[in-house]
Chain A
Amino acid sequence: MFEARLVQGSLLKKVLDAIKELLNEASWDCADSGIQLQAMDNSHVSLVSVNLRAEGFDKYRCDRNLIMGMDLTSMSKILKCAANDDIITMKAQDNADTVTFIFESPSQEKVSDYEMKLMNLDQDHLGIPETDYACVIKLPSGEFARICRDLSNFGESIVIACSKEGVKFSAAGDIGTGNIKLAQTSSVDKEEEAVIIEMQEPVTLTFACRYLNMFTKATPLSPQVSLSMSPDVPLVVEYSIGDIGQIQYFLAPKIDD
Chain B
Amino acid sequence: MSKQPSIFKFFSKS
Contacts and interface: CB of A to CB of B under 8 A. Distances in A.
Interface string B1-14: 11111111111111
Contacts of B7: 40, 44-47, 126, 234, 250-252
Contact of B14 (A126, A233, A257): A126
Contacts of A255: 2-3, 5
Contacts of A157: 2
A224 interface: no
Interface in A99-138: 124-129
A254 interface: yes
A174 interface: no
Interface string A218-257: 0000000000000001100000000000000011111111
Contact of B4 (A45, A124, A126, A128): A45
A208 interface: yes
Contacts of B6: 43-45, 252
A206 interface: yes
A144 B4 CA distance: 22
A206 B3 CA distance: 10
B2 A254 contact: yes
20 contacts: A43-B6, A44-B7, A45-B4, A47-B7, A125-B13, A126-B11, A126-B14, A127-B12, A129-B11, A234-B7, A250-B7, A250-B10, A250-B11, A251-B7, A252-B4, A252-B5, A255-B3, A255-B5, A256-B1, A256-B2
